[in-house]
Amino acid sequence: MRHTLLLLLALPIFAACDSPAPEKKPEPKKDADSCALDMSKLDGTAWVWLRPQPSGPDKQQPATRMKFHNTDGKLKVDYTASSLSEVYPYSCEMNAKGSIATCIEDDVHAKEWSRAWGATHDGKVDTAALSAATGIPAAEFDKVSKEIEKELAQLKGDERTETFKTYNSPNNKIRGKILVAVDTKKCMLTVQDKYIAMVDSRPNEYENPVGTAKFQQSQEDWLFEACKDVESANTVVADGATAHTYPAGTYEFTSTLSLKDRPDPKCTYSANIWKDWLALTPNLAPDDPKKVKWSIKVPLDAKGPHVISFERYKTCGSAPPEKMGISCAKIHIE
């Protein structure tokens, strides 16, 4: 009986061992070409920083955006670097494999480099040595060196000491630099946002707050022009308001011609209105044609900074509209 029982118990065990293993389903192949984007196709594309959030999905931050374009066969990018009103042009060079673009701000900032050099050389600027250190032609520094030496020579005592310390510091951001590559798995751009400073006569690179980040392609028609006129536009707030942040609500924004642009009674004026760098109201006529003053009420609900831009035009007779620049007003919703 014992042996019979053992046999009976063993049969299922052997049967289980002899049964074929379940067939594994083949894993779906990853399509390496599912992202059609590559570095040669950046011309005309716009990208927005996808900022990680403490909880929930990453969120687009339109204040940090870039747009690529080819100029005379050279790749360039306009980058806001998180500024609410500035747009900085960069020129790019590809690596040998064409997989990474290194983009340097077009403005060489010759005066800032000269100040940083003078801060560690008793206020003197050696343009040849500065050129060797930075790779920027000495001619750029020759244009400004005497002016900077005179400026630094006027500093005395503690002011001189503190100013030199400020110029000879990693916090003295002189020139922007970004590295760009395509993340084919996410079909995004991987961007390293850096700046160059000079410490003890040597250029050094540091990361901006954006750091190494993902940028998501956007089909929106973003505004990519710096707002240079910040004095002829404002936000109308309650009388006596002193806070720098305001509650959600509808606010009135106004803009007038800058002092150098006096109204011409023979011409008509208009403005395209942008809200947070996206088109809001096109071809808005001034509500006061004599003073050429525009006003518009805009509801603002989202917390954080908001920018209303007035892209102004003048039309005289049969001539095409003449662009007069952009004025903008900023407000922070608490």
Question: Average pLDDT for residues 63-80, to the nearest whole number?
Answer: 96
Domain termination residue (choose one: 188, 218, 248):
218
Report yes or no on 287 lying in a domain.
yes
Predicted pLDDT of residue 7: 31
Query: What percent of the chain has pLDDT above 70?
Result: 90
User: Whole-structure pTM over 0.75, yes or no?
Assistant: yes
The reply to whether 187 and 303 lie within a common domain is no
3-state helix, strand, coil in the chain (%, to 5): 20, 45, 40
What are the tokens at 63?
A: 């204040």
Sort strands 304-316 and 233-236 into parallel, antiparallel or unpaired. Answer: unpaired
- If you average pLDDT over every residue of the chain, what do you get? 90
The reply to whether 206 and 146 lie within a common domain is no
* Residue 9 clears pLDDT 70, i.e. is over it: no
* Residue 291 clears pLDDT 70, i.e. is over it: yes
Helix ranges restricted to H, 2-143: 2-18, 110-118, 127-134, 138-142
Question: Average pLDDT for residues 83-91, to the nearest whole number?
Answer: 97
- Domain tally, the chain: 3
The reply to whether 240 and 308 lie within a common domain is yes
Binning pLDDT at 50, 70 and 90, where does residue 12 land? very low
The reply to whether 61 and 121 lie within a common domain is no
Using one digit for the tens of pLDDT, what is the confidence trace for 171-202? 999 999 999 999 999 999 999 999 999 999 99
Comparing 31 with 167, the larger pLDDT belongs to: 167
- Let me know how long the chain is: 334
* Residue 18 clears pLDDT 90, i.e. is over it: no
d(CA 188, CA 270): 38
The reply to whether 308 and 180 lie within a common domain is no
Q: Which of 215, 212, 220 is nearest to 186 (CA)?
A: 215
Around 263, how many Cα atoms within 13 Å sit in the side-chain half-sphere?
13
Predicted pLDDT of residue 46: 98
Domain termination residue (choose one: 151, 186, 218):
218
The reply to whether 139 and 162 lie within a common domain is yes
Predicted pLDDT of residue 28: 45
Predicted pLDDT of residue 302: 94
- Residue 16 phi, psi (nearest 5): -65, -35
Binning pLDDT at 50, 70 and 90, where does residue 24 land? low
The reply to whether 250 and 329 lie within a common domain is yes
Residues 6+ apart with CB under 8 A from 254: 233, 234, 236, 293, 294, 295, 296, 329
d(CA 93, CA 107): 16
Residues 6+ apart with CB under 8 A from 21: none
Would you call 142 exposed, middle or buried from its count of C-beta atoms within 10 A (0-12, 13-18, 19+)?
middle
Comparing 7 with 48, the larger pLDDT belongs to: 48
The reply to whether 99 and 196 lie within a common domain is yes
Report yes or no on 2 lying in a domain.
no
Q: Which of 184, 187, 191 is nearest to 49 (CA)?
A: 191
CATH number at residue 323: 2.60.40.10
DSSP 148: H
d(CA 208, CA 81): 9
DSSP 39: G
The reply to whether 245 and 309 lie within a common domain is yes
Question: Average pLDDT for residues 254-274, to the nearest whole number?
Answer: 90
Using one digit for the tens of pLDDT, what is the confidence trace for 95-150? 999 999 999 999 999 999 999 999 999 999 999 999 999 999 999 999 999 999 99
DSSP 85: S
Residue 150, domain extent: 110-167
The reply to whether 282 and 137 lie within a common domain is no
Report yes or no on 148 lying in a domain.
yes
Predicted pLDDT of residue 245: 83
